[in-house]
Structure 1
Amino acid sequence: MVGNIKLHEIINIAIKAGNRILEIYQTVDFEVQTKQDDSPLTIADKKSNEVITKELTTLYPEIPILSEEGIHLSYEERKMWEYLWLVDPLDGTKEFIKKNGEFTVNIALIEKEKPVLGVIYAPVLDTVYFSKEGVGSFKLEKVSEYLKTGRDLIELANRLPLNVEKENTKVIASRSHMSKETKEYVNVLKKKVGEVDIISIGSSLKLCKVAEGEADIYPRFAPTMEWDTAAGQAIVEHSGGKVIHTDSEESLRYNKENLFNPWFIAKMNA
């Protein structure tokens, strides 16, 4: 199945959704609602979801969609799915509300509980990270300009990981969700490796920073959902890294009965 999916089509969808988000982002004021789990929701989340759902359904009607802002079917219905799209139409809504630009559009293809394709688009940065099993992971800046040329995006993009020189171990952490357990993890790590630099950034860009080599480790000891991590995990794994459960060290799996992720650590293989 993954071989039949055209990466540039999924990148195009993510950019269309990102452009819709930017239209709202650039307005003076927009309404912020609160969902049942107390997380924020804006019209941008909804409009982005409409774009992605419509486009994916048109191109790949045979593949079901599980989106944060869509209808969540019961596990009894979902467990028979061999393939599905996992979508977060606006990852980092808190960053969107703060207007710091650190939010993304996340689209992943899951095959038998495993992410085999991932696209993450950061609209404000106009930067896309994308990966496909058997092809690799890539980063392309100013992607909107290149799309107009019709050129092959893989040929234009930088293959991940990049060659990044770092003096100290770099740990990336959430800008909005730094937990006590994360701080404890960093303190233990310092005893092992010495000096540790902390990088803070929002949304799935944390996983992207691991994939490109800007960060060495991303420990997550706070709640996340499957749509928060699926695309990023694909990009990390296809660049040679891993995203593993803190207890079992097994890769995170998807389309589970419980859509919450366990605590995890993302890192490049050492």
Structure 2
Amino acid sequence: MKDSKQTKKLVEIEEIVRSVGWGAAKILRSYYRGEVNQGNLEINHDKTDGPVTAADVAANHYILEKLQAVFDSDTFGYLSEETHQGNDRLVQDWVWIIDPLDGTRDFIDKTGEYALHIALAYQGRPVVAVVAIPEAEKLYFAAKDHGTFVETADGTVTPIRVSERNQIEDLFLVVSRTHRDDRFQKLIDSLPLKDRNYMGSVGGKIATILEQKSDVYISLSGKSAAKDWDFAAPELILTEAGGQFTHFDGRPLTYNNGDVRQWGGLMASNGHCHELLCQQATELLAKIDGDQ
């Protein structure tokens, strides 16, 4: 994927997805601000993975409609949180992985800390990504081997990089305010990091690392696990900005495996202490599990 011709093609795709991302962000903002007639809190309680708002459905429909008009379904698969069914792996090499509203609870609770994710994966690895933070009116985008950029509502585009903090005791962890089981709480309490920042959506969390406010994000599965669409786009915008995003044992994440759940411990960081953080997390987790 490092071929210059291939990179040029990915950048062309990135341009299209940026436009789609801004359009979907506008839809989410209109629902969030109550500008849509049906109201923004139309909840579908039948969804097993949590509340789904009318905004989810509207943004998802818009994203799929725009992408499918350009990228045919024979060549490109579509893996969306709102349309995913079953555990069959999509057969296409190129797969769009979409979360039209990451941080639904934050959307409902009016924290403003929701995001939308659109990623294109090639053979299980992300190569184009957009993460939009509608209430911040920012859109982060990346193409493989081409860097990460942030675009603001006025059209200004700026390259963005992770922090240079390189001592574990100087690093800031970003976590949710809630949704932590005892095992995860013990893990993050045991890591010798400087301080914590709090943010809702995964996309928002990774954005704080890009903005150099945070340096570390950890996902640890319990009874359930985060899904492909939670990580595919945030991973690429982080790694193209100089960070790392792996399993605790250093393995890369892979997507479109059939089971969309990302089990185990995952470490995202500014990259400078990544291996040491993974090692410490693994050792601490073994001790926590041994004590139970």
| Category of TM-score, reference length = shorter chain | 0.7 to 0.9
Matches of 2:208 and 2:101, distance apart in 1: 18
The one-letter code of the counterpart of 1:213 is Q
Change (3 A) 1:145 1:250: same
Aligned length: 253
RMSD: 2.2
The one-letter code of the counterpart of 2:146 is V
The one-letter code of the counterpart of 1:15 is W
Any stretches of 5+ residues in structure 1 without a counterpart?
Answer: 147-152
| 1:212 Cα deviation after fit | 3.7
Q: State yes or no: 1:21 paired with 2:22.
A: no
Aligned to 1:145: 154
Counterpart mapping for 1:105-124 below 5 A: 105-124=116-135
Matches of 1:231 and 1:211, distance apart in 2: 13
| 1:122 Cα deviation after fit | 0.9
- State whether residues 18 and 105 of structure 1, in contact with CA within 8 Å, keep that contact through their aligned partners in structure 2: yes
Aligned to 2:44: 33
| 1:130 Cα deviation after fit | 1.0
Change (3 A) 1:258 1:29: closer
Aligned to 1:176: 178
Q: Percent identity?
A: 25
Q: State yes or no: 1:102 paired with 2:109.
A: no
Q: Comparing 235-244 with 204-213, which one deviates more in the overlay?
A: 204-213
| 1:161 Cα deviation after fit | 2.3
Superposition TM-score, scaled by structure 1 size: 0.86
- State whether residues 76 and 93 of structure 2, in contact with CA within 8 Å, keep that contact through their aligned partners in structure 1: no
Counterpart mapping for 1:1-270 below 5 A: 3-5=8-10, 6=12, 7-27=14-34, 30-61=41-72, 62-72=75-85, 74-75=87-88, 78=90, 80-140=91-151, 143-146=152-155, 156-161=157-162, 168-190=170-192, 196-203=194-201, 204-222=203-221, 223-246=225-248, 248-262=249-263, 263-270=265-272
| 1:70 Cα deviation after fit | 1.5
Partner of 2:129, secondary structure, is strand
Change (3 A) 1:127 1:184: same
- State whether residues 128 and 139 of structure 1, in contact with CA within 8 Å, keep that contact through their aligned partners in structure 2: yes
The one-letter code of the counterpart of 1:208 is A
- State whether residues 87 and 259 of structure 2, in contact with CA within 8 Å, keep that contact through their aligned partners in structure 1: no
Superposition TM-score, scaled by structure 2 size: 0.80
| 1:74 Cα deviation after fit | 4.8
